[in-house]
Amino acid sequence: MSDSAPSPSALTFLWLAIWTGICVSGLYVAQPLLHLLGLDFQVSDNHVSLVSTFTQMGYGIALFLLVPLGDFFDKKKLILLKLVLLAGTILCCAFAKSFSLLLISSLALGIFASTTQDFIPVAADLAPPNKRGQYIGYVVTGLTTGILLCRTLSGWIAQGFGWRGVFIALFAATFFTLVTCYFFFPKLEAVARRGSVFSIYRSMIALWQEHQALRVAVIRHALMGMAFSAFWTNLSFFLSKAPYFWSASRIGMMGLAGALGALSTSFVGRIADKRGPLFGIQFATLLAFFSFLAMFVFKGQAMVIILGTVLFDLAVQTSLVSHQSIIYGIDETARGRINGLFISGLFVGFSLGSFISANLWALAGWFGVMSFCCACAAAAFSLTLTQRKYGGCRSRYPSIDQENSARSPSI
């Protein structure tokens, strides 16, 4: 979209934010329930954490294989199909009779919950370039709010209706998304179908090899994703034991603390437009590091844990919007593929964070988890010191636009 083109209505971005928030909820809705799932299926904390790991693995796989198809197929039809399949897998989770079936269903749920990442490139397509960070921020607000509030709602529903009731409620929300998306999905320009589907994946390899900014963004935010997953995967274990002994509903309310960070999304997007994304990324990685450090040192004080959760989720949100402000300026004809690469890397980080931290929890408890989170944040910050080419204080990236107009990987 050109700078002079009229901006879409606020209602369009509101719908995109709502749909994004509902679809992403499936990835995290089980996290406050892990200790309940462990009791129901009689498996250890270490094994029940595989529910989160399998869900995130499925999501990461789909982001590489399915999300890039939005550059090739009609976006609305693709999204509607994935929503139907997502609703079906949620029902499989709700009525799983064995832990093995729950794990398989969780993997499938992660695959089709990738619909979340089909909506964000639509926002980038509709937004004028000089306000891309701001408009992406509006939609990512829905994503982050869904991630965090679903934990609170999950805890509340589980308290009254059990963990199966949580998945039934998620099915209802997904069905609502399917119906409203059918009627209110924005009109987009027709997709130019060139080449084969496999050529899309070949072009993704070319994009990865060609753009250092993309490679650094993927690795740096994946490190933040590892810390994010490690924290939320083990928080229910930490708070359900001494000295807290919190219930599922009370643990779920920690999502409200994290949701405060989501309210900053559009503001963060405007900063990325004005001061450049590197400033936001450096701020985010440092804020995350000191948040984890405080939660380790003062682990027995609930208010420190709550405040640390607010600040850490603000940091992750800032990192996400700042990085997306970079990658969506790389090549406007390949946003689905670029987003697929970026979020695939993020969910590889999520899966690794969940798996590694589960073992650290078994070995060293909260100390091991927080040490791992601090290390991830410190590593992400170090990458901001070694790569500045696309980070400065400009709001747009003409050098990238000129480069890609000359040599964009075709499909």
Sequential DSSP letters for 245-300: ---HHHHHTHHHHHHHHHTTHHHHHHHHHHH-HHHHHHHHHHHHHHHHHHHHHTTT
Band (pLDDT 50/70/90 cuts) for residue 358 is confident
Band (pLDDT 50/70/90 cuts) for residue 393 is very low
Domains and CATH numbers, the chain: 10-185+197-405 (1.20.1250.20)
| pTM of the complete model | 0.70
**pLDDT digits 0-9 by tens, 224-275:** 999 998 998 888 889 888 888 888 778 777 877 766 665 665 566 566 567 7
Q: Is the pLDDT score of 147 beyond 90?
A: no
- Taking residues 156-171, what's their average pLDDT? 94
Give the DSSP letter string of 101-158. Answer: HHHHHHHHHHHHGGGHHHHHHHHHHHS-GGGHHHHHHHHHHHHHHHHHHHHHHHHHHH
pLDDT at 388: 53
Q: Is the pLDDT score of 17 beyond 50?
A: yes
pLDDT at 273: 62
Tell me how far apart the alpha carbons of residues 362 and 357 are, in angstroms, rounded to a whole number.
8
Give the DSSP letter string of 177-199. Answer: HHHHHHHHPPP-PPP---S-HHH
Q: Which of 82-91, 294-303, 344-353, 402-411 has the highest mean pLDDT?
A: 82-91
**pLDDT digits 0-9 by tens, 92-116:** 999 999 999 999 999 999 999 999 8
Q: Is the pLDDT score of 2 beyond 80?
A: no
Q: Is the pLDDT score of 23 beyond 60?
A: yes
Which residues, including other chains, have CB under 8 Å from residue 121's CB and lie 6 or more apart?
A: 70, 328, 335, 336, 339
Please state, rounded to an integer, the average pLDDT across all residues of the chain: 83
The C-alpha angle with vertex 376 and arms to 379 and 273, in degrees rounded to 5, equals: 70
Find the radius of gyration of the CA atoms of the chain: 20
Tell me how far apart the alpha carbons of residues 28 and 30 are, in angstroms, rounded to a whole number.
5
**pLDDT digits 0-9 by tens, 197-226:** 678 788 888 999 999 889 999 999 999 999
Alpha-helical (H) ranges within 302-392 are 302-327, 335-384
